[in-house]
Amino acid sequence: MGIRAKIFSGFLIMAIMLLVAGAWSIYELNNIGISVQKILDDNYKSINAAKSMLEALEREDSAVLLLLLGKREEGRDILRSADEAFQRAYETAQSNVTIPGEQELIDTISRTYDRYKALWSRPIVETAREGNLDWYFREVHSSFLSAKLSVQELMTLNDKTMYQTASGVESRAHRATMPGIIAIIAAFVFAIIFSFLINLFIVTPIIRITSGIEQYVESGRSFDVKVDTRDEISELASSVENLIARSTK
């Protein structure tokens, strides 16, 4: 193998190592970005839906108190719009089940909300329930708190999943950088080995040839430098030896 091929092959090996490591790191980081973004989007959507349900429940609770005060039209208008908002948010959460245990919480929300809604769907104004705070705290408020708690559990589950996802990104990012680190270390080790081989098979023979020529010029000592590299260096040594042999004839 010639000198050019030796040098080229050495640099080619280092380039391939760095290229493979870079491609691997890019692939891993791209996968991390896609998967993490999807998980965060799904959790964020569920958290927003839970917030909307909580706001709707708070509005419904206020509307029930208005009904207890005898304000039928105002209370019913608020209940109607709040119920529509709750149903929209619930449908969003129901269509975005992505983590274990989420469907069970969605079903719990449906049951607790239906019980709560059944209490204020019946007439309140101009009935025995109007102004009846005992009935409100005994049945309505407890059902309201139960529905609210189920929605909060859904939000907590998605919050926890988002935190776990963010915590997992660090370890995944570390794994993604490992190929690059390994490639840098390997390239450094290979560069040392390559430098040693260049010195052994190119630099040292050239120094020996130069030294042999200088000894011949200065003292007339015969040129006796053997190079076994089987490349341009060995050809150079043979050519110098032939040239000196001819000049001494």
- Give the list of residues 6+ apart from residue 167 with CB closer than 8 angstroms, or none: none
Q: What is the pLDDT along the chain (249 residues), one digit of tens a residue?
A: 666 676 777 777 777 877 777 777 777 767 666 666 666 677 788 888 999 999 999 999 999 999 999 898 999 999 999 999 999 999 999 988 888 888 999 999 999 999 999 999 888 888 888 888 888 998 999 999 999 999 999 989 988 887 777 666 666 666 667 767 777 777 778 778 878 878 877 788 888 888 878 877 777 777 777 777 676 777 777 787 777 777 765
3-state secondary structure the chain: CCHHHHHHHHHHHHHHHHHHHHHHHHHHHHHHHHHHHHHHHHHHHHHHHHHHHHHHHHHHHHHHHHHHCCCHHHHHHHHHHHHHHHHHHHHHHHCCCCCCCHHHHHHHHHHHHHHHHHHHHCCCCCCCCCCCHHHHHHHHHHHHHHHHHHHHHHHHHHHHHHHHHHHHHHHHHHHHHHHHHHHHHHHHHHHHHHHHHHHHHHHHHHHHHHHHHHHHHHHCCCCCCCCCCCCHHHHHHHHHHHHHHHHCC
Distance CA 92, CA 109 (A): 13
- Give the list of residues 6+ apart from residue 141 with CB closer than 8 angstroms, or none: 61
At 131, list the tokens: 């102004």
Per-residue confidence (pLDDT) for residue 249, from 0 to 100: 59
Distance CA 131, CA 69 (A): 6
Burial 28-66 (b: 16+ CB within 10 A, else e): beeebeeebeebeebbebbbbbbebbbebbebbbebbeb
Domains and CATH numbers, the chain: 22-178 (1.20.120.1730)
Per-residue confidence (pLDDT) for residue 170, from 0 to 100: 63
CA angle 47, 49, 53 (to 5 degrees): 115
Distance CA 171, CA 32 (A): 11
- The closest alpha carbon to 114, from 90, 138, 78, belongs to 90
